[in-house]
Amino acid sequence: MNWPRILSEYSAYLQVEKGLSGNTVQAYLSDLRQFQAFLHELGLDFAEVDSEVVALYLNHLADQALSPRSRARKTSALKNFFAYLVEEELADDNPCAYLAAPKLPRRLPNILSEQEVVALLEVPQLDKPAGYRDRAMLEVLYASGLRVSELLALDLGDIDEMGFVRCLGKGSKERIVPVGSHALRATELYLNYARPRLCKNFRERALFVNQRGRRLTRQGFWKILKARAKEAGIEKNITPHMLRHSFATHLLRHGADLRSVQEMLGHA
């Protein structure tokens, strides 16, 4: 297991996909390095971790004077990391699946106001291929509530002419989500005027591509979102997950029923 590479990719995953702040991500990575040091003392590798090793580590933590929040974070860091390894097919099972973190008060998620969303969507100028692409991505992301990983996994043909997007969510479960006329129009403009200029490889099936004509990565999208938010004058620490929360909150405010929103988010 290439530890530095996996940690780097996991760091990007936490920031882009999970919407965690830089400070929180660094705290999680510090927790994982602490666990790695514990394994090193035992002469073990991550591939040898099972529920008994995890139990030993939790007993080790119990001997330290930690606050409930610190214990909760360290437990969560471990559990979520192994869940990530399983999801990415880097591990067969999660030895921490049985763990329950201490209950702490939940904070309400940060969202963008509807005015901030409008400003963000209108920032990309349609004078360059990247502008068409960025507006299409942002429109689709906000209109559908897709996870970033789902957005970037879209292939040509996954958004049909009726304005429905077909995506694979967690557990490879397929769902069909409407994206609306604005997102559909932005995508059509991107496909007609920008994507052919960004991608000369006819075998590339990715819907959204970078300047080299390859499928856009999470890190690439995160950089684009940060830059566009700055252009729009949004001072909040914006994350892709914030758009997903905003999508759900705005729908509920305008009268959508909770069950329908959950289904669109892939929580059903």
pLDDT at 107 over 60: no
CATH number, domain with residue 46: 1.10.150.130
Q: Verify that 120 and 253 share a domain, yes or no.
A: yes
Q: Verify that 39 and 145 share a domain, yes or no.
A: no
- The region of weakest confidence among 104-108, 177-181, 226-230 is 104-108
Q: Which residues contact 204 (CB under 8 A, 6 or more apart)?
A: 213, 214, 215
> Is residue 63 one of the residues assigned to a domain?
yes
Q: Verify that 69 and 128 share a domain, yes or no.
A: no
pLDDT of residue 193: 94
pLDDT of residue 124: 95
What is the DSSP track for 221-263? HHHHHHHHHHHTT--S---HHHHHHHHHHHHHHTT--HHHHHH
pLDDT of residue 153: 92
Residue (of 133, 249, 152, 147) closest to 198 by Cα position: 133
Instruction: Report helix, strand or coil for 82.
Output: helix
Q: Verify that 130 and 239 share a domain, yes or no.
A: yes
Phi/psi for 215 (5° steps) reads: -55, 130
> Is residue 100 one of the residues assigned to a domain?
no
> Is residue 106 one of the residues assigned to a domain?
no
Q: With b meaning 16 or more CB within 10 Å and e meaning fewer, what string describes 131-162?
A: bbbbbbbbbbbbbbbbbbbbbbbbeeeebeee
Q: Verify that 83 and 122 share a domain, yes or no.
A: no
CATH number, domain with residue 148: 1.10.443.10
pLDDT of residue 204: 93
Task: List the domain range (segments joined by +) for residue 23.
Answer: 3-87
Q: With a threshold of 0.75, does the pTM exceed it? A: no
Q: How confident is the model at residue 58 (pLDDT cuts 50, 70, 90)?
A: confident
Amino acid 39 reads L
pLDDT in tens, 211-244: 999 999 988 998 999 999 999 999 888 887 788 7
> Is residue 99 one of the residues assigned to a domain?
no
* % the chain with pLDDT above 70: 90
> Is residue 103 one of the residues assigned to a domain?
no
> Is residue 39 one of the residues assigned to a domain?
yes
